[in-house]
Chain A
């Protein structure tokens, strides 16, 4: 079964890969771009896949946190589908960029030049939230897999679920703000976060139901939830229609009307019927995303590259998901206990039990009265595990706010600290999860890692370090092909000191400062930090090479060859020396005083 699905995925994936390669090579003109918003298929696909990615966390983490019963294999399938969807949700915004090399500039992270991302932009919030979400989902899946072997880990699942619960809502709220924070009339509306979360939950449920069909069983709870979600979404669509006068009719039919056929028992009881509901909802939601991102797409047409991108993500998902499933089935010890029915919870029985319980308590599935007593939230086990890491997380978030606040960018640009708020929860979550891992490593005696897992951890750490390094180093701002010529400049008659001073103040002082110390405020805000021009450094470089640097440019220093004559450049070098001498004379008495003390 998985093999055929993989082959189907591969046949979609390979032409899709061509489309992806072509789009990366050609840039944003390759696919259909809306003439009004400059956005197109990749962003539709991004919103679509990030919605699908909510399946796992929603079903597994939120159900776990709320004590709603879900058997292990459904939870694992959902979590795995989250991870695989996130891979594709991450690819599309990246490939959508005009200059893909510069993607790291979106991270709210100081680079070597003192540049800082504009934290007012929802895109920055997006970047952080999704990165943290992917990280925590991976951790959650890993802990779930391991907890079968090491029962001590099982008690860490619930704290993690509580961390993921707000994050999943947070992520989709932020994604909706990408749209709702703009001036595009079709995207206005305070209900956007609710709308996006409802859409995400629906698409996630549809995906999980589809995957469960592929595994060959069904979970009625999820099917019912899916139906209820279509009602919520229909209500929002009708609201939108009344508010703005138009909406996506095809989405309403596919994701709103057709799934109502579940009320007909003949269709509901047939497997093809259930597949039909899920596929119909997914198609409808994709059309809706597509309509949402490109509201005035009439001028452009949905071309073969766009189709290719859709095929790439769908095929890639199938290939990766079923590939991992096959791999786990073959190579993992006791895969049956993870993904099979050996779990011990026979579904028919479980549902029967649930039904009986419902008659007793009136609350389906929620085991509030487990073991006959009510647990105080502050004395529960998950709170005791979570409280210290959470404290560390909050401390980190506060530290981040203070650090961001002290950035010079904030002094001059109209940025309020309120703009940092969307970043705070992801920071809390990632730091808390990290502390939780450290705690598990040190506290749990039975916790032991195999050699392979240790290597994996090291590799991940190295990757994280490499990412941070990339962000910090940044790119070169001058792609200059000019090479410093080896010939001497051949000028030994500099311009007068006075002329040099005028040129210095006009051309150089903006960055290097009138007194030779760099103009910190300006430089930190707009430009890379220049070299300090102290006497030692000037002496070690020599006048000739300094003249060449001025004329030809170097690293981030612009070339002034057309704007300054070599005589002026030499004059500037002499003037630099004078400034440096003055600075060192000014500095000298202080150091003498310190020496006396």
Chain B
């Protein structure tokens, strides 16, 4: 009855060997191969934006929403909540924001069959003649269903993505009522469809979700600069993200996209939306969106 010594030692050493073998893994060395491949020309990115613009998507049903306030999630900052407002009176739907976003965030091209089906990777979509992107909902349904926690909320009100933690279950995509999330169906780097215009934003691997990050890297750079310029140890002033603009807001010739901090009275966002009526897509109105539309005077 039971296990004799010989068998016990045998099984123990088996476990040990398994552990050792496990430690010997080496991750694939693929990084350099991608960089040697040809990169697509800028012209192709421009053409793709034109193609996407020609396949107009149906417009959103907008409903009035109140001005976004502080986030209600635990750990949220009481000073910062970044967001945007898109001025529908000023916007003429030129689509310059889409291209600017693609170049800023290294959004890859898609193969022709996907383009024909309207499956672009663009973080900014044209819906009913106006740009639309992830609304960074305060009560984001996508984050709630993400099994690994790759989709999460920063204290500053950004709905962020950890690409390395994403396992590609696409649950978040299924739960986004406006389909703002884009899935990397193709290995864009291998197919020569990706180009790193901006060194600060990583290229995404095949099989992960991505979406508008509200130019997180610009905010982070500004925060770091702010912290560096301060004398160490004295918290004289808190960082409010002043002076940062997203790529789409920068590119807009009509200044129809306003980026800022909803909780900062000096922010252009608060000042420009003061006398305007704010709208959001009806699917998102109850989810506390940070990116809203504005139209008409109050």
A: which residues have CB within 8 A of B?
27-29, 33, 35-39, 96-100, 102-103, 105-106, 115-118, 120-124, 127, 178, 181-184, 299-300, 409, 411-414, 448, 454, 458, 461-462, 465-466, 469-470, 473, 475-477, 479-482, 501-503, 505-507, 514, 526, 562
Contacts and interface: CB of A to CB of B under 8 A. Distances in A.
B119 A35 contact: yes
A299 B117 contact: yes
Given A121-B171, A184-B174, A98 B206 contact: yes
Nearest to A30: B185
A38 B228 contact: no
Interface-centre pick from A116, A475, A480, A506 (highest chain B CB count, 10 A):
A506
Interface string B147-167: 111101100000000101111
Contacts of A413: 73-75, 149, 152-153
Given A28-B170, A412-B75, A115 B22 contact: no
Interface stretch (B81-89, B175-183, B261-269): B175-183
Contacts of B153: 413
14 contacts: A36-B179, A98-B206, A118-B143, A120-B144, A121-B145, A122-B145, A123-B147, A182-B174, A182-B175, A183-B141, A299-B117, A414-B74, A462-B14, A475-B27
Contacts of A28: 168, 170, 183, 185, 207
Contact of A479 (B3, B27, B119, B209): B27
A182 B145 contact: yes
B167 A98 contact: yes
A178 B170 CA distance: 12
Contact of B173 (A38, A96, A477, A501): A38
Contact of A526 (B19, B146, B162): B162
A454 B3 contact: yes
B149 A117 contact: yes
A96 B169 contact: yes
A103 B150 CA distance: 13
Interface-centre pick from B29, B147, B186, B227 (highest chain A CB count, 10 A):
B147
Nearest to A102: B167
Given A28-B168, A448-B1, A526-B162, A38 B174 contact: yes
B148 A118 contact: yes
Contact of B31 (A99, A479, A503): A479
Interface residues of B, number: 64
A482 B32 CA distance: 8
Nearest to A483: B29
B208 interface: yes
A106 B117 CA distance: 31
Contacts of A465: 15, 18
Contacts of B48: none
Contacts of A118: 143, 146-149
B236 interface: no
A123 B148 CA distance: 9
Contacts, number: 174
B22 A469 contact: yes
B190 to A, nearest CB: 11
B232 A102 contact: no
Interface-centre pick from A35, A38, A514 (highest chain B CB count, 10 A):
A38
Given A469-B22, A506-B228, A27 B207 contact: yes
For the complex of A and B, 3 pairs with smallest distance between CB atoms: A98-B168, A98-B207, A481-B31
Contacts of A481: 29-32
Interface string B208-225: 110000000000000011
A501 B232 contact: yes
A35 B173 CA distance: 10
Nearest to B209: A98
A482 B187 CA distance: 21
A29 B170 contact: no
A501 B146 CA distance: 38
Contact of A503 (B144, B206, B228): B228
A454 B205 CA distance: 44
B43 to A, nearest CB: 25
A339 B171 CA distance: 43
B271 to A, nearest CB: 29
Nearest to B229: A502
Contacts of B74: 411-414
B7 interface: yes
A505 B223 CA distance: 11
Contact of B175 (A184, A482, A505): A184
Contacts of B179: 35-36
Contacts of B67: none
Contact of A27 (B29, B164, B167, B206): B206
A105 B170 contact: no
Contacts of B141: 182-183
A466 B170 contact: no
Interface in B229-243: 232
B240 to A, nearest CB: 17
Given A117-B149, A121-B145, A469-B19, A97 B174 contact: no
A106 B11 contact: no
Nearest to A34: B174
